[in-house]
Amino acid sequence: QWFAAVPRMYESTTVSKAILHESRHAVAFMMLCLPSGFKLDPASPAYKAEVHAVGVEAEKKTLEYLAAQGSQAVAVASVVKAMRALHKAGHLSVLLDQFRERYYEGEVVDPTPNSALPPFLRFT
């Protein structure tokens, strides 16, 4: 399935670095909005379905969060722009703290390498 494979945009030589950067940030912001965390195991036979389910839930929760903040963003670029503005204003600090707490408690298991995450979501 498309959602568990290496995205074609990362293998493409025609996709700009700005688009890749924006996509990476969109996924990171979506991860913050998952209240119960997630566990992904690439060795699982249902990995693709699990990735898809987490992605659908993350998209829904992110749009709900933005709507609660008064944003009407729905497209990727506008969602990233709105989330960046909230992050710069300090409104995401609670979500970041909760995400880190879930990560260290083992409620978030993500096979994504730390180096592939945006700086605000990297763990040491």
Query: What mean pLDDT is reported for the chain?
Result: 87
Q: Residue 111's CB: how many other CB atoms inside 10 A?
A: 10
Q: 66-102, pLDDT tens digit by residue?
A: 999 999 999 999 999 999 999 999 999 999 999 999 9
**Neighbour-count burial of 66, counting CB atoms closer than 10 A to its CB (0-12 exposed, 13-18 middle, 19+ buried):** buried
- Spell out the domain ranges in the chain: 9-111
Angle in degrees, 0-180, between the axes of helices 93-104 and 17-32, rounded to the nearest 10: 80
Residue 51 · residue 114 · CB < 8 Å: no
Q: 24-36, pLDDT tens digit by residue?
A: 899 999 999 999 9
With bands split at pLDDT 50, 70 and 90, how would you rate the model's confidence at 60? very high
Reported pTM = 0.81
E strand residue ranges, the chain: 38-39, 108-109
